Amino acid sequence: MERLSRMEVWQRFLGDKWLRFSFLLFLMVSMLWCPSSSQFANQLNSANFDQVVQSNEVVFVNFYANWCRFSQMLKPIWEEAAKATKSEFPEEGRVALAGVDCESESEIAKKYHISKYPTLKLFRNGRLAKREYRSQRSKDAFVSFIQEQMKDPIVMLQDKMALNNIDEKKRNVIAYFANTEGPDYKVFMRVASSLRDDCNFYVGTGDAFRPETVPGNNIMFRPPRTRGDQDMLYMGTLNNFELLLAWANDKCIPLVREITFENGEELTEEGLPFLILFHKTEDTDVVQKYNQVISRELIQEKGNINFLTADGTKFTHPLHHLGKSAADLPLVAIDSFRHMYLFPDINELTVPMKLKTFVQDLHSGKLHREFHHGPDPVTPESQTQPSQKPQPGIEKKPTDPPESTFVKLKPSEHRYSFGRDGRDEL
């Protein structure tokens, strides 16, 4: 009887079923998002964002939206990871996990181009890392990621023989210092930390490398697939961080990049069409020619096109859409994220203006138009510039170019909520 009375009191207090449901939902959300539950993850806002990012070696930031169910699912996991990393790296100024409510801090979200939730970004030494975090979303995965970020990015060379063990396929920065106590080395270490995902960094110091430091400390870049005969010496001031970073950034992040299954999502998010050379891994000659043509004729297109190479024996699906196979390699194609277009003749890759005209024809719409209606009639004007209008003639049977395959590498709708102007989900 006593139990029934309590139920009656409860029902009178809460009213109908909808009110009970609303109250319980409110309690659940309050428990989930209550600021007091964030004992270890820093909550960032316009007042403290710069201070936290600048005062820690590594800051891992969760950009979230309260209405996003994926953000809600991540919240307790993020707090567990923050607790674990704080325990492993307790020193002030080393590591911080933090969160930004993108609805209340819209200016911060806009500054860092947040359009999906949750977005996880890393800051090193006050600077935004180029790559977002895209791996598993678990406490252990986050902790492992931070542990990896806190490893020393510099490999110390024991002697000159160790230079033979440098990975020739990578982009390598090799430096020689009289000692590791001076400002030159500290600046180099900051640069190495900032570009650790793009280059390997090596340092030789001590008696074994004394001849290399007689004229002073020096730094050089070693391009891939070379053994020292093409090393490029840094000629700037060694203790100028901004100058050394700009030099290393230019060497470590090439104009032409390789697309892989690991970085495909990252590249698609840049939103630029792909110009891709599909090739066999052993065919380094065609890669060199492709790089040379782009550097000579298309460097002004940087920012409009992503110049890429791809292992055609792995990326067989886009080849299939183009009606090709690994037996047809090498070949060049454009993926506009709507359709794919094949460069007509790989043997004309190095013919002046051929590849540039191919790219210009994408911008003008000529590639799409000619796929539907056949080649534009040749006129004196069209010989010097891409045609802007369809010309009368016999039309092909209406069809569409092969669909984009790389668009499918864009962020999954099953991991993010996408929004425009706040809550609009796409």
Q: Give every strand in the sheet of 417-420, ordered side by side.
A: 116-117, 417-420, 424-425
Give yes or no: residues 193 and 297 share one domain: no
Please tell me the distance from the alpha carbon of residue 374 to that of residue 397, in angstroms, as a whole number.
10
Domain assignment present for residue 98? The answer is yes
Q: In the prediction, which pLDDT does 119 show?
A: 92
The percentage of residues in the chain with a pLDDT greater than 70, rounded to a whole number, is: 79
Please tell me the distance from the alpha carbon of residue 268 to that of residue 256, in angstroms, as a whole number.
15
Give yes or no: residues 234 and 305 share one domain: no
Give yes or no: residues 268 and 234 share one domain: no
Q: In the prediction, which pLDDT does 232 show?
A: 95
Give yes or no: residues 317 and 215 share one domain: no
- Of 198, 228, 252, which residue is a domain's last? 252
- Of 195, 228, 252, which residue is a domain's last? 252
Domain assignment present for residue 390? The answer is yes
Domain assignment present for residue 12? The answer is no
More confident residue, 103 or 391: 103
Nearest to 153 by CA among 130, 183, 173: 173
Answer yes or no: are the C-beta atoms of 403 and 321 closer than 8 Å: yes
Q: Which amino acid is at 62?
A: N
Query: Does residue 44 surpass a pLDDT of 80?
Result: yes
Tens-place pLDDT, residues 315-370: 999 999 899 999 999 999 999 888 999 999 999 999 999 999 999 999 888 887 77
> Would you state the torsion angle of the CA atoms of residues 165, 309, 318, 353, taken in this order, to the nearest 10 degrees?
-160
Give yes or no: residues 401 and 281 share one domain: yes
Query: Does residue 85 surpass a pLDDT of 90?
Result: yes
Tens-place pLDDT, residues 217-244: 999 999 988 888 899 999 999 999 999 9
Domain assignment present for residue 418? The answer is no
174 lies in which domain range?
154-252
Place of tokens 């004992």: 39
Give yes or no: residues 387 and 279 share one domain: yes
Give yes or no: residues 378 and 321 share one domain: yes
Structure tokens at 195: 């570009």
User: Measured over all CA atoms, what is the biggest interatomic distance in the chain, rounded to whole angstroms?
Assistant: 99
Structure tokens at 260: 């892989």
pTM score: 0.62
Tens-place pLDDT, residues 87-137: 999 999 999 999 999 999 999 999 988 888 999 999 998 888 877 888 899
Our separate counts of H helices and E strands in the chain read 14, 18
CATH number of the domain bearing residue 166: 3.40.30.10
Domain assignment present for residue 32? The answer is no
Long-range contacts: 297-302, Cβ < 8 Å, 24+?
297/352, 297/353, 297/355, 297/356, 298/355, 298/356, 298/359, 299/255, 301/359, 302/255
Q: In the prediction, which pLDDT does 416 show?
A: 64
Query: Does residue 377 surpass a pLDDT of 70?
Result: no
Structure tokens at 138: 């678990």
Domain assignment present for residue 78? The answer is yes
Structure tokens at 380: 């004196």
Give yes or no: residues 53 and 142 share one domain: yes
Structure tokens at 201: 């960094």
Query: Does residue 29 surpass a pLDDT of 60?
Result: no
Give yes or no: residues 306 and 247 share one domain: no
Please tell me the distance from the alpha carbon of residue 96 to that of residue 58, in angstroms, as a whole number.
6
Give yes or no: residues 268 and 403 share one domain: yes
Tens-place pLDDT, residues 262-316: 888 878 877 789 999 999 999 999 999 999 999 999 998 987 899 999 999 999 9
The mean pLDDT value of the chain amounts to: 83
Query: Does residue 2 surpass a pLDDT of 60?
Result: no
Per DSSP, 128 falls in state E
More confident residue, 101 or 20: 101
Give yes or no: residues 225 and 133 share one domain: no
Per DSSP, 236 falls in state S
Domain assignment present for residue 353? The answer is yes
Q: In the prediction, which pLDDT does 261 show?
A: 87
Give yes or no: residues 270 and 331 share one domain: yes
Q: How many domains does the chain have?
A: 3
Domain assignment present for residue 28? The answer is no
Which pLDDT band holds residue 37 (cuts at 50, 70, 90)? Answer: very low
Place of tokens 């181009």: 113
Cβ-based neighbours of 323, under 8 Å, separated by 6 or more: 402
